[in-house]
Structure 1
Amino acid sequence: MQDVINQLRLVFVTGPSGAGRSSAINALEDLGFEAIDNLPLSLIPRLLDGPPLPRPLALGVDVRNRDFSSEALVELIDHLHRMPGIAVELLYLDCDESTLVRRYSETRRRHPLSPHDSPVEGISHELELLTPVRMRADVLIDTSRLTPHDLRGDIARWFAPSSGAPMSLSVQSFSYKRGLPRGVDMVFDCRFLANPHWEAELRAFTGLNPEVQAYVAKDPRFAGFYARMLDLVVPLLDAFVDEGKSSLTIGFGCTGGKHRSVTLAEKTAADLATRGWRVSKRHRELERRGTNAPMGEQG
């Protein structure tokens, strides 16, 4: 086993079938975890007794595991908590029953606890079986209303390494009509800027278009707003890193999430990238409707 200074980070990933466990394991793998799914519980101690592992470990466990039981999993976690050199966390992907039923209906998959019958009975039985595990969760994420992208963001916020690589930034655009994005840390409202929606030759385009970006930037209020926004954000980034934050999400909102907010998100992401930050971009409303497809809402 590794000593206390070089603790192995071990994350158990579980939850009801259909709640997003596989997506969570994939997200952890992208964060640098070694991921193993459906390893029998009885083999986990033998895995940990082997040579020291160079990366944090994510283990997916659920009712499909050959020797799975809630009691056995809780007992194993208690045992590992007492062992030096291992930092154990339990990630539970939760989901309400009606959403699980809908997901199974849409995919026409068979539930592992009711392979020959309606998934409803299997889902209800599994939720009951997992109650003791849910109560022991260190991190509980309800995926009932999450997109896969939202889930990946939540996983990153909880499990991204807090040292080594610099803090990762996500810059997002959105429509206020559909509410704030989940997990956004800082929000800027750009509905006061000139709206390309009212220009017939620009309406069908998005803030990814240079002409739309130029139109928004021509607003006399744009330059002052943008400069003051950067003056606020940039000094805070190092402070957040010092605090141990591993990711930060900045949101720009406008009426329809098509023109002004996209322009601001694109420009901000580019400027922060030139300063050496790892930046990802997301345009929520464009993802819903197609990048350059006309949208009925105002941008």
Structure 2
Amino acid sequence: MEPVAEAVEFLVITGVSGAGRRTAAHALEDHSWYVVDNLPPELMPQLLQIARDRDFTKVAVVLDVRTRSAFQQLPAAFAELGRAGVLPTILYLDASDEVIVRRQESVRRPLPLQGADRLLDGIRRERRLLGDLRARADVVIDTTDLNVHDLTDRVVELAAGGGPDRIVFTLMSFGFKNGVPIDADMVFDLRFLPNPFWVPELRPQNGLAQAVAQYVLTQPAAAEFLASLRQLVDTVLPGYRREGKQHVTMAFGCTGGKHRSTAIVEEFAGRLRADGLAVTVRHRDLGLE
């Protein structure tokens, strides 16, 4: 009996120029992925067949606006991949306009759709062209505040997720005063809980400290919230698995991102792990990254 060929993991890397597509591609190449840059979308089914013929099990394609009008072929290409039994994971990289302008000016390269206009004009054209891909992305990473090493770590972490039925949850704490993260699938506002900031002995600490965590988690509303949240995860999991989604980012915000959100994220991550789910944790505004 011939051995059964191993399933192919197929990842699409996309996003605006200057957001880190090349860094993501290099990170995957360094971890044994076969990466093709700037492939016309209509060739993705042929690439899948080549991967199967050559026993490549991890394949990534960088799709961006350099292919221009070829983006019209994306729906048909994704449909053909689906008929071949593969649901590609889409990783979308984004960053603020200001950061992209700064990065592009540092390398002194125009954007593909900039023409004779300003960098901002080129960025806005890219965002319009990439709108559908961003909407259907499985994972969005905001690289505004990430350096090359941070982004590499995030990409490798996501790419190591596992098989088609395994979902990795990223739980992120953040502070609303610093902005809502753009790379979250779900956002929860924890400002309904009493704020440890107003307790003098707790103010200098954060949600990783036992005293702060106990203060937050012993609130009746916190217990009710965590129980309801666990039910929510059970509700959406079957649908996510059916749709082939492998990564879910849940963001929990409080005023500064240091007390309530941090404590809730740590507690909920422990509960999900205890139930056998894969979880990673990020504390965006805690100053640990």
- Please tell me the TM-score bracket, short chain as reference: 0.5 to 0.7
Structure 1 match to 2:200: 200
Q: Secondary structure at the match of 2:182?
A: coil
Is it true that 1:139 corresponds to 2:133 in the alignment? yes
Separation in 2, partners of 1:251, 1:96: 19
List per-residue Cα deviations over 1:149-203 (Å, max 9, x = no partner): 6989x989x9998953521111121222334322433343322323221222221
Structure 2 match to 1:233: 232
Contact 2:193 2:222 (8 Å CA) reproduced? no
Q: CA deviation at 1:251?
A: 2.6
Structure 2 match to 1:251: 251
Return the letter of the residue paired with 1:228: A
List per-residue Cα deviations over 1:248-285 (Å, max 9, x = no partner): 22232222211011101110001111110000111221
Separation in 1, partners of 2:258, 2:184: 18
- Higher mean Cα deviation, 88-97 or 259-268? 88-97
How many residue pairs align between the two structures? 267
Structure 2 match to 1:166: 166
Separation in 1, partners of 2:77, 2:248: 35
Q: CA RMSD in A?
A: 5.5
Structure 2 match to 1:52: 54
Q: Secondary structure at the match of 1:204?
A: coil
Greater Cα radius of gyration, structure 1 or 2: 1
Separation in 2, partners of 1:138, 1:274: 36
Structure 2 match to 1:297: none
- Higher mean Cα deviation, 5-14 or 183-192? 5-14
Contact 1:176 1:257 (8 Å CA) reproduced? yes
Q: CA deviation at 1:53?
A: 3.4
Structure 2 match to 1:295: none
- Higher mean Cα deviation, 20-29 or 254-263? 20-29
Contact 1:207 1:262 (8 Å CA) reproduced? yes
Q: Relative to 1, partners in 2 of residues 1:256 and 1:264: Cα closer, same or farther, differing over 3 Å?
A: same
Separation in 2, partners of 1:47, 1:171: 32
Q: Secondary structure at the match of 1:139?
A: helix
Structure 1 match to 2:109: 111
> Percent sequence identity over matched residues?
33
Contact 1:32 1:55 (8 Å CA) reproduced? no
Q: CA deviation at 1:236?
A: 1.8
Structure 1 match to 2:213: 213
Is it true that 1:181 corresponds to 2:175 in the alignment? no
- Structure 2 spans left out of the alignment, 5+ residues: none
Separation in 2, partners of 1:32, 1:165: 22
